[in-house]
Chains A and B, each alone.
Chain A
Amino acid sequence: MSDSEPSYLDGFEARRETQTELSRLERLYDRVDQKLPYIMIAPVFIIVVGLMLYPAVWAFKLSLYDVPISNLDNQVFVGFQNYVEILMNSFFYKVMKNSVVFVSASVVGQVGIGVTLAVLLDRGWLDDRLARFFRATYILPWATTAVIVGYSWQFLLNPRVGLVNQFLRALGWANPPPWLTSVQWAIVGLIIMNIWRGTPFSMIFQTSGLQSIQESFYEAARVGGASRLQTVRNVTLPLLRPFILMNLILVTLFTFNVFGMILVMTGGGPLDATNVLALHMYQTAFSLGNFGKASALAVLLFLFNLLTVAFYLRVFGGVDQAI
């Protein structure tokens, strides 16, 4: 040690002593501080329980009552009568059929196109800047509010001034479908709209999945002599499996609950050809004022959600795949 070391030790005689006693205030502060993790997460649970879980439980309770809109406090317990009435009515099955068609076609379209686009925009196919540009053009529909989505597609599918039919005529289809005014074609229009709205989410979701695949897998495949399509089939898709499963679950849950766009676009018509479960429930509550029955429909909707998730998990094999 040389003599030129600074005499830093001289300045240290005023060293803090280790505190061995805490004052009462310090002890209180410390006790609060030790509980801080719980204090920090408490608001989330207050909100989640107060604004989501509690209302949901209440909804289940309401579904067992007859709640006339004229006098909301005059609730009569009717047991499962609301459910029985719903399940005995053939209208419910018509709505269910619409829902299943709408959801399954939308899910297949959204996830299918989403995965395809994500893979095409992944490493190796295109120049990075080009891929970023394409990705950017695909995102906006997801950030568009349901009302605008509804109107813009109403506009596009308008049989007279609509761009879609103009395009179809140009392709040589002399009498293109009247879309939203037709009992057969209205739901097709809704599905196209919903795919337009929802695909960007799937694409982004899959893109983040693809980013988690390490470059070395691709390198190994290339060195092993796999072609591009072989690589996609044997490397990319298997590794993407958990993301695809999660994507399917999320999109199905979203789609079962979609009705804002439908409300704007067709209001469920023509002749209830586009009436889906969520819309039916909303109209039962706020147009017909039958809160009890609407709650029962909401509970049924929740059960369908659970069943679908269970179905996916079964097909794909286990919860661990999804997390």
Chain B
Amino acid sequence: MSMKQRFIKARYYLHNAARFAKIYPEEALIRAVVIFSLVSMSVFFIVPLYWLFSAAFKPPNSVGFPPELVPSTITFENLNHIIVNTEFVGTFLVNSLLVAVGAVIIVLAIATPAGYAFSRYEMKHKRVLMVSILFVQMIPFLAMIIPLYRIFAIVGLLDTLIVITLVSAANTIPVATWLMKGYFDTVPDGLEEAARVGGASRFQAFRIITPLAKPALGAVAIYSFVGAWNKFIIPLTFTSSKSKWVLPVALYKFISRRGVVEWGLLGAATLIAMLPVLILFVVFQKQFVAGLTGAEYKG
């Protein structure tokens, strides 16, 4: 579109809006207020992250007074420093990826068949069983942390990535099971039976029908990935040696060790720590929303 066309279009909109405001002043006022509040909420939600990330591209020590919203000069010095001189990418990012991917695999492997079984089969006390797994989630995680610490100390898993993966997955499994059950409920009943009458065992029928739940599998995968990726207290408590740190822990130690905060470096580090989530957000926006909230996902 040429500039001129754009200009004409904008004038056209403006003209229409003005006419609308003249005819329905009340309605126009409501609309203006709504749009204004929505835009200010956008600013409220985006600026905090934007500002931290933008610090990553500002020259060191230029972050100061007065704050500048758009960096006047863009530098990759901070990012370069974090990537080259620290273990953020080499160790912590890799650890975080291992934990998150591991959690996704465990959650999918356990929640998918369970959700399927809850959706498809009659079982004794099904309702009680389903509610009880959600009820357990009501117990504050903090209450479990001390016994878990003892258990892992006894079995010698303390300070390993396995523990973080396992506990992160366990945290996600109840909601993931409900999510899968909800999706399988939307798959027509007859399919499993058609498969079984046609000569498939229950297990074969499950394998035939699971591909139909791809959207829910995607949502659950994202939910468990982001959940595990963002875990902070679990790895902080159960790991100690630096080689086992995941990104949130590394960020925390990074600041609390240095004392004086170098905002530019922090911005660079947080940007790296958020990158996979940002990528997921851009690529799978729809599943991302469904996955994060555990809300019912409508294909």
Please pick, from B35, B142, B281, B296, the residue contacting A257 in the complex, using a CB distance under 8 A. Answer: B142
Docked CA distance A127–B169 (Å)? 39
Does A187 reach chain B (CB closer than 8 Å)? no
Whether the pair A148, B142 counts as a contact (CB closer than 8 A) is: no
Neighbour of B252 across the interface among A147, A153, A228, A301, CB < 8 A: A147
Task: List which A115-164 residues lie within 8 A (CB) of chain B.
Answer: 117, 120-121, 125-126, 134-148, 151-156, 160-163
Interface residues of B (CB under 8 A from A): 30, 34-35, 37-38, 41-42, 44-49, 51-52, 55, 63-67, 69, 110-111, 113-114, 116-118, 120-121, 123, 129, 133, 136-148, 150-151, 166-167, 169-170, 173-174, 177, 201-203, 206, 226, 229-233, 237, 247-249, 251-252, 255, 261, 263, 266, 270, 273-274, 277-278, 281, 285, 288-289, 292-293, 295-296, 298
- The reply to whether the CB of A256 lies closer than 8 angstroms to some CB of chain B is yes
B38 touches A44 (CB 8 A): no
* Residue in A162, A166, A205, A253 whose beta carbon sits within 8 Å of that of B295 in the complex: A205
**CA A148 to CA B60, docked complex, whole Å:** 20
Which chain A positions have C-beta within 8 A of B66?
A: 166
Cβ–Cβ < 8 Å partners of A298 in chain B: 140, 142-143, 146
24 interchain pairs (CB within 8 A)? A37-B123, A48-B173, A53-B136, A56-B139, A56-B143, A56-B144, A120-B37, A120-B38, A126-B34, A135-B289, A137-B42, A140-B46, A141-B48, A143-B277, A144-B49, A148-B274, A151-B251, A208-B295, A257-B140, A264-B252, A285-B145, A299-B143, A301-B143, A306-B138
Q: Are B117's CB and A41's CB within 8 A? A: yes
Which residues of A does B touch, CB under 8 Å?
29-30, 33-34, 36-38, 40-41, 43-45, 47-48, 51-56, 58-59, 62, 72, 113, 117, 120-121, 125-126, 134-148, 151-156, 160-163, 166, 196, 199-201, 204-205, 208, 211, 228, 253, 256-257, 259-260, 264, 278, 281-282, 285-286, 291, 294-295, 298-299, 301-302, 305-306, 309
Indicate if the CB atoms of B147 and A54 lie closer than 8 Å.
Answer: yes
Residue of B nearest to A193 (CB): B48
A282 contact from B63, B117, B142, B270, Cβ within 8 A: B142
Which residue of chain B lies nearest to A73 when distances are taken between CB atoms in the complex? Answer: B150
B136 CB contact (under 8 Å) in A38, A48, A286, A305: A48
Instruction: Give CA–CA (A52, B175) in the complex, Å.
Output: 14
Taking a contact as CB atoms under 8 Å apart, the answer to whether B48 and A139 are in contact is no
Q: Is the CB of B114 within 8 A of A43?
A: yes
Is chain A's binding surface mostly helix, strand, loop or mixed?
helix
Contact among A38, A113, A160 for B123, CB-based, below 8 A: A38
For A38, what are the chain B residues with a Cβ–Cβ distance below 8 Å? 117, 123
- Whether B52 pairs with A152 at a CB distance below 8 angstroms is yes
With A40-B116, A44-B177 as known contacts, state yes or no: A286 contacts B237, CB within 8 Å: yes
Please determine whether A40 and B51 come into contact, CB atoms closer than 8 angstroms. Answer: no
If the complex has contacts A41-B118, A144-B274, are A139 and B281 also in contact, measured as CB distance less than 8 A?
Answer: yes
> Is the CB–CB distance between A260 and B226 below 8 Å?
no
Partner of B146, one of A41, A48, A153, A291: A291
Please name all residues of chain A whose beta carbon is closer than 8 Å to the beta carbon of B174 when the two chains form the complex: 44, 48
CA A291 to CA B202, docked complex, whole Å = 47
Max count, chain B CB within 10 A of own CB: residue among A285, A298, A309 = A298
Q: A37-B117, A259-B233 are in contact. List 20 more A-B contacts (CB 8 A).
A: A33-B201, A37-B123, A38-B123, A41-B129, A43-B113, A44-B174, A48-B173, A51-B170, A117-B38, A138-B45, A139-B292, A140-B45, A140-B46, A146-B248, A148-B270, A160-B64, A163-B69, A228-B30, A295-B143, A302-B138
